[in-house]
Amino acid sequence: MDNRFIRKLENFTRFSEADLKALEDASAQGIRRLGAREDIVLEGDEPRYVNLLLEGWACRYKQFQDGRRQIIAFFLPGDLCDPHIFTLRRMDHAVATLTPVTLARISQERIEAITTASPRVAETLWWAMLHTTAIQREWTVSLGQRSAVERLAHLFCELHLRLRAVGLTEATSYELPVTQADLADTLGLSSVHVNRTLQELRTSGQITWKGRRLTIHDLPALTALALFDPAYLHLDHEGAHLDAH
């Protein structure tokens, strides 16, 4: 299966044929391709569509007048930006691509149609939203309490599991198509310090990061260093009681 969206959602529950068809149809609507570092949604925009990321990486961010920028979240393939965003009048943050991406645009009506048609799908979109907010909380914890190495290690562990959930990892490695400056804006560090912290992880033999591919050499050790507990991702088939068949 190459539909990362459905693949992600099936980490919660297994769909029926009808569910699958409805989700496939929804993710084939309004396909757009964008290049790297393009804005998808601007702060202040009126929400018009739900954007579904099919390929590539994007991010939420907020930027101050003085240039400081915080990346608030990463969108990975299969991630849906805010299924209920229509309730709000204006976007309070921006969304931009990090790499070239493929997006689907899903209308409010279609979201309503597929959730009305299947309570299982409705519940699963709820789950996706709770999963997203749980990540946001964990980022709050990282920025508030973790040191530079811990933050970096934690992010690498999180990305490993999120990408694995959509089939985008090899055994111990994955594509990490962002710059050190992006990581700096994500982790609340300077890019110089991200660079030095990466070297610390490299020389201690924890990771390799060459030509966009990150390899984790000792995941248990990195997990311990990061104080990483995967429970908050809720990727462990928690909707088993809703499974089809």
- The answer to whether residue 198 forms part of the interface with DNA (CB under 7 A) is yes
Using the contact rule CB under 7 A, the part of the chain among 7-15, 26-34, 181-189, 215-223 near DNA is: 181-189
CA 175 to CA 159: how far, in whole Å? 10
- Taking CB atoms within 8 Å and a gap of at least 24, the contacts of 208-214 are 209/176, 212/175, 212/176, 212/177, 213/173, 213/174, 213/175, 213/176, 214/156, 214/173, 214/174, 214/175, 214/176
Query: Scanning the structure block, which residue is given the tokens 């297994």?
Result: 14
CA 125 to CA 57: how far, in whole Å? 20
Using the contact rule CB under 7 A, the part of the chain among 18-26, 46-54, 116-124, 142-150 near DNA is: 142-150
- The answer to whether residue 199 forms part of the interface with DNA (CB under 7 A) is yes
- The CB-of-151 to its own copies minimum distance in angstroms stands at 10
SS3 159: helix
User: Is 91 within 8 Å of 47 (Cβ atoms)?
Assistant: yes
Beta partners for 55?
Answer: 102
Considering beta carbons, is residue 16 or 190 the nearer one to DNA? 190
Query: Scanning the structure block, which residue is given the tokens 């909380």?
Result: 137
- The CB-of-109 to DNA minimum distance in angstroms stands at 38
Q: Name the pairing type of β-strands 32-34 and 101-106.
A: antiparallel
Closest-CA residue to 165 (of 87, 99, 235): 235
Using the contact rule CB under 8 A, the part of the chain among 1-9, 99-107, 211-219, 231-239 near its own copies is: 231-239
Residue type, 149: V
Considering beta carbons, is residue 70 or 173 the nearer one to its own copies? 70
- The answer to whether residue 204 forms part of the interface with DNA (CB under 7 A) is no
- The answer to whether residue 84 forms part of the interface with its own copies (CB under 8 A) is yes
Q: Residues 65 to 94: which contact DNA by CB under 7 A?
A: none
Closest-CA residue to 22 (of 11, 33, 9): 9
- The CB-of-124 to DNA minimum distance in angstroms stands at 35
Give the contact letters, 108-127, x = binds to its own copies (CB under 8 A), - = no. ---------------x--xx
Given 20, 149, 227, 235, the residue binding its own copies (CB under 8 A): 227
Given 28, 88, 130, 192, the residue binding DNA (CB under 7 A): 192
Residue 97 is inside which H or E element, if any?
Answer: strand 94-97
Given 109, 144, 171, 245, the residue binding its own copies (CB under 8 A): 144
Given the rule CB under 8 A, which residues bind its own copies?
44, 60, 62, 64, 68-70, 72-73, 82, 84-85, 87-90, 92-93, 123, 126-127, 129-130, 132-134, 136-141, 143-145, 185-188, 227, 231-232, 234, 236, 238-239
Given the rule CB under 7 A, which residues bind DNA?
147-149, 179-181, 188-193, 195-199, 211
